[in-house]
């Protein structure tokens, strides 16, 4: 077969999104405006938060969260290495030092024990990731962070539609950051969101994303009289456009359906993989339900074939799989960092892979994917 015929991911975009974007263009309001405000309200309500602040990406959301918390040079922020590199990079954006903690083998998430193992007197915050849409134990980590007097930033980039303790991921978070990249269930092309419960924090985040202005561009344009804005602090241009928000509103309406479909497909993967020794698929933790933004499989030594060989064989068979989630501390950008031992992180990033999972995946596709894996097993 000349090339992959089963993609690892396809965003769910259709005519409704196209029409919504076109209507935004026809309205003449294409920058941050009324659609962004509506998307913020509806997304915050969906995840159980008081306020949403739309931004240009989850990376900029994480940056603003740390600016809000006044993290800076000389401070340490505990993060997982087992995450997309943006999680650690955001710490460096504010001049602080990322300190890598290990993760749980089953969930790929930080735990109270792994955070506590690297905590020092210089620790000023923790960024915990709901990795691949698998919720971390929010009750345990939030309680521990409060006891340590450390703010807990929740990197929920992948987690829209996941739940923890029966509530949406994001509900009750001090501050959560979200991604709407095309790899996510809910996409605006690029884009992100911060959710908080504190109205004063929300107001400051809105200033920080828009050059520090004390009145938004939308409010200035809506006023019948001239508005002389002031710039209260050095800030950023991290705004979302109304075109993106128009797409996001349609996507938000699909979220429940998309999560249900992915969970059904994941359940079928679990059934198909059950008889293959040495392949350990990601599952729901005891405290919540994943949205299966990614369906990763740990390739255990009992399988008899290494992860990279599995990826090569899948590609030959027309299946576009991916290596597991990266480990930031192994990248050249962090060659100057000597972390504490991270054995679970290194095992997961070395021995896991991500299988295709998306709305267009058929049962025949799944049968083909698992058929290749079954044939490879030794």
The predicted-structure confidence for 228-258, as pLDDT tens digits, reads as follows 789 999 999 999 999 999 999 999 999 999 9
The predicted-structure confidence for 51-107, as pLDDT tens digits, reads as follows 999 999 999 999 999 999 999 999 999 999 999 999 999 999 999 999 999 999 999
Confidence of residue 1 (pLDDT cuts 50, 70, 90): very low
Per-residue pLDDT at 295: 98
The predicted-structure confidence for 152-175, as pLDDT tens digits, reads as follows 999 999 999 999 999 999 999 999
Cα–chain center distance at 167 = 17
Is the per-residue pLDDT at 2 higher than 60?
A: no
Question: What CA–CA distances, in Å, run from 169 to 155, 232, 241, 249, 260?
Answer: 10, 33, 25, 19, 16
* Residues carrying an active site annotation: 184
Q: How many residues does the chain have?
A: 378
**Tokens representing 245?**
């928000």
- What mean pLDDT is predicted for residues 286-292? 98
**Percentage of the chain lying above the pLDDT 90 cut:** 93
**Percentage of the chain lying above the pLDDT 70 cut:** 97
**Tokens representing 36?**
């962004």
Strands (E) located in 267-321: 279-281, 288-289, 295-299
Asked whether the CA dihedral 144, 146, 150, 151 is positive or negative, the reply is positive
Asked whether the CA dihedral 71, 46, 187, 249 is positive or negative, the reply is negative
Identify which of 142, 81, 23 has the alpha carbon closest to the alpha carbon of residue 345: 81
By DSSP bridging, strand 51-55 and strand 192-196 are antiparallel
Cα–chain center distance at 150 = 21
User: 2 Cβ partners below 8 Å, 6+ apart?
Assistant: none
Higher pLDDT, 3 or 44: 44
Query: Which residues are paired to 353 by β-bridges?
Result: 297, 323
CA distance 342 to 362: 37
The predicted-structure confidence for 17-46, as pLDDT tens digits, reads as follows 999 999 999 998 899 999 999 999 999 999
Q: Is 124 within 8 Å of 97 (Cβ atoms)?
A: no
Backbone angles phi, psi at 23, to 5 degrees: -65, -35
The predicted-structure confidence for 353-375, as pLDDT tens digits, reads as follows 999 999 999 999 999 999 999 99
CA distance 158 to 119: 26
CA distance 277 to 319: 21
Residue indicated by tokens 């596709």: 365
Per-residue pLDDT at 54: 98
User: 3 Cβ partners below 8 Å, 6+ apart?
Assistant: 318
Is the per-residue pLDDT at 220 higher than 70?
A: no
CA distance 356 to 367: 12
pTM of the predicted protein model: 0.95
CA distance 213 to 229: 6
Asked whether the CA dihedral 364, 158, 58, 350 is positive or negative, the reply is negative
The predicted-structure confidence for 301-323, as pLDDT tens digits, reads as follows 999 999 999 999 999 999 999 99
Q: Is 8 within 8 Å of 295 (Cβ atoms)?
A: no
């Amino acid at each position: 077969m000349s090339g992959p015929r089963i993609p690892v991911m396809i965003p769910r975009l259709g005519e409704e999104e196209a029409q919504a974007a076109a209507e935004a263009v026809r309205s003449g309001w294409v920058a941050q405006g009324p659609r962004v405000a509506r998307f913020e309200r509806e997304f915050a309500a969906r995840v159980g938060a008081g306020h949403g602040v739309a931004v240009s990406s989850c990376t900029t959301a994480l940056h603003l969260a740390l600016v809000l918390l006044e993290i800076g040079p000389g401070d340490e922020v505990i993060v997982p290495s087992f995450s997309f590199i943006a999680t650690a990079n955001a710490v460096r954006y504010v001049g602080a030092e990322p300190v890598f903690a290990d993760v749980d083998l089953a969930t790929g998430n930080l735990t109270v024990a792994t955070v506590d193992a690297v905590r020092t007197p210089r620790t000023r915050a923790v960024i915990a990731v709901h990795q691949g849409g698998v919720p971390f134990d929010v009750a345990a980590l939030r309680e521990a962070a409060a006891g340590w007097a450390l703010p807990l930033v929740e990197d929920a980039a992948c987690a829209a539609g996941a739940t923890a303790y029966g509530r949406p991921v994001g509900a009750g978070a001090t501050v959560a950051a979200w991604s709407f990249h095309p790899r996510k269930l809910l996409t605006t092309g690029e884009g992100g969101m911060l959710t908080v419960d504190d109205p004063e924090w929300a107001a400051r985040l809105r200033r920080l994303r828009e050059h520090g202005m004390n009145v938004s561009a939308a409010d200035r344009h809506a006023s019948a009289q001239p508005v002389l804005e002031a710039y209260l602090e050095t800030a950023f241009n991290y705004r979302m456009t109304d075109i993106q928000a128009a797409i996001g509103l349609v996507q938000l309406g699909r979220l429940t359906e998309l999560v249900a479909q992915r969970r059904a497909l994941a359940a079928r993967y679990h059934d198909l993989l059950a008889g293959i020794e040495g392949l350990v698929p990601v599952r729901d933790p005891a405290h919540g339900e994943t949205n299966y933004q990614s369906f990763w499989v740990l390739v255990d030594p009992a399988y008899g074939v290494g992860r990279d060989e599995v990826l090569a064989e899948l590609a030959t068979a027309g299946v576009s799989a991916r290596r597991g989630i990266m480990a930031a501390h192994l990248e050249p950008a962090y060659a100057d960092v000597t972390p504490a031992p991270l054995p679970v992180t290194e095992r997961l990033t070395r021995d896991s892979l991500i299988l295709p999972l998306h709305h267009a995946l058929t049962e025949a596709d799944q049968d083909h994917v698992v058929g290749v894996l079954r044939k490879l097993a030794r």
